[in-house]
Amino acid sequence: MDKIYDILVVGGGPAGVTSAIYAKRAGRDVAIIEKFVIGGQLSLIGEIENYPGFSSIAGDELAKDFRNHAKSLDIPFIYDDISDYDFAGEVKTVASKKQSYKAKAVILAMGSHPKELNIDGEKNFIGRGVSYCALCDGNFFKNQDVAVVGSGDSAVSDALYLSNTCKNVYVLTKNQLKLNNYSEADLSERENIKVLKGAISKQIEGDNKVQTLVYEKDGEESNLDVNAVFVAIGRKPDTDNLKDKINLNDRGFIETNDRMETSTKGVYACGDVRTSVIKQIATAVGDGAIAGNEASKYVLIMDKLNKK
């Protein structure tokens, strides 16, 4: 017979690992399924300066700490790429192309990834001036010139945040700004923010780090001398295979209540994959703690009911 876990966690980033730790400490039989590496996108981050308890720590070092903590509790890691879900019935099934896994409860923690510009030089300078998180990396560019590429609220939020510490902030948007929570006046009030409308980012150049952003405006190419390019054109959650399985918002993020419960009983979501105000390591860990605790209580209740 197939093994039935108490809880399966899909995704091994900060949220997923934390949820598994809390579930394991509550006495549940839990495993983490991860398609790449335990620690998730932490392994791709340079220095982290906004995670409590560490004034500064490399992303791969923090990822290692997460892995070691889970290992110390004998939480198994299953390396597989989940592509299908069946949440009907008391026993849930998650499956890859080669194997299926069963559990009484499932915690979804697949995370999300930033949308990329897909221009020359972008991938080459990730971690060396190209960033997708102003909150994470803005502090590294104090008193320097930076660019923010985007046309929505996230771009404006990043520009305002960066303007507090950076020398000059250039906002490049292909078309008009499309804002819900901000106005153009919010930007014009800051003397060190300049908006370049109709500017299409073409290429990022530099030696060992970002030095120039090449853009096209009104049919002419120009160079912008900046030390960093912050890409703020949105994020995409890894939920394509969850459509019609649970409720998603219009951008594909999983809808949950404050207990991390999804629209389906026994299925929880935490971290960047769910709807949230900000997406940071600290908030992912908080989500994971709640999800692990709530999923554990659900399994305990269901076990008691089934014994009657």
Query: For residue range 40-67, what is the model confidence (pLDDT) as tens digits?
Result: 878 766 678 888 999 888 888 999 999 9
| Alpha helix ranges (H) inside the chain | 14-25, 59-72, 134-137, 153-163, 184-188, 281-307
- Which range is most confident: 148-157, 180-189, 259-268, 273-282? 259-268
Average pLDDT for the chain: 93
Taking the CB of residue 177, how many other CB atoms lie within 10 A of it? 18
How big, in percent rounded to 5, are the helix, strand and coil portions of the chain? 30, 30, 40
pLDDT confidence of 133, banded at 50, 70, 90? confident
Beta bridge partners of 113: 236
* Nearest in space to 33 (alpha carbons), one of 53, 56, 16: 16
| Token output for 297 | 């209580």
How many residues does the structure list for the chain?
308
pLDDT of residue 46: 65
When pLDDT is averaged across residues 134-144 and rounded to a whole number, the result is: 92
Residue 1 has pLDDT above 60, yes or no: no
Provide the pLDDT for residue 181: 76
Type of residue found at 270: C
Q: What is the mean pLDDT of residues 154-163?
A: 91
| pLDDT confidence bin for 135, thresholds 50/70/90 | confident
pLDDT tens, 255-294? 999 999 999 999 999 999 999 888 889 999 999 999 999 9
| pLDDT in the model for residue 48 | 81
